[in-house]
Amino acid sequence: MSFGTEDIQAVVAYRKEKAYATMKEAEDMVATEHWNLAIQRMYYACFYMASALLISKGMRAHTHNGVVGQLGLNFISKGLLTKEEGRLYSRLLQNRITGDYNDFFDFASEDVLPLLEPTRQLLLTLDRLINQL
């Protein structure tokens, strides 16, 4: 099934809205010291915004690692995202996987708090790329 321009715009708008709502959930989890959930929500906020970016540019990724690859190939390699931003996205993904699947492992405040502001900034950067390219 192919999407028309209006469909693409609707999906992009929905995912952007979902990204910001999910970042708010991450902040709520930080406030209540639910560190694993905060990590998970921070990753998903970026995932929703990154997928909105890819969709807005006519690209698709079918896996979480596929999104990482598309960001690297189409945005980091072209200087539209920094290597640090790419590493942050990858780190959030790996942290989410660790928190979800590793038994007897829990994140702590010192793992999560330093990532909060960089994650907010990455969301804004991805959003700007949606609007400017």
Q: At how many degrees (to 10) do helices 83-101 and 64-71 cross?
A: 170
Q: Which pLDDT band, with edges at 50, 70 and 90, does 133 fall under?
A: low
What confidence tens digit (pLDDT) does each residue in 61-93 have? 999 999 999 999 999 999 999 999 999 999 999
Model confidence at 127: pLDDT above 90: yes
State residue 64's pLDDT score.
95
Rounded to whole angstroms, the Cα distance separating 125 from 7 reads 23
Q: For a pLDDT cut of 90, what percent of the chain falls above it? A: 89
Mean pLDDT, the chain, whole residue set: 95
State residue 13's pLDDT score.
97
- The tokens describing 98, both together, are 């660790």
3-state secondary structure 60-122: CCCCHHHHHHHHHHHHHCCCCCCHHHHHHHHHHHHHHHHHHHCCCCCCCHHHHHHHHHHHHHH
State residue 1's pLDDT score.
47
What confidence tens digit (pLDDT) does each residue in 15-35 have? 999 999 999 999 999 999 999
Q: Give the mean model confidence (pLDDT) for residues 96-100.
A: 93
Distances (CA, A) of 57 to 47, 76, 80, 129: 15, 15, 13, 10
State residue 90's pLDDT score.
97
Least confident of 2-6, 45-49, 109-113: 2-6
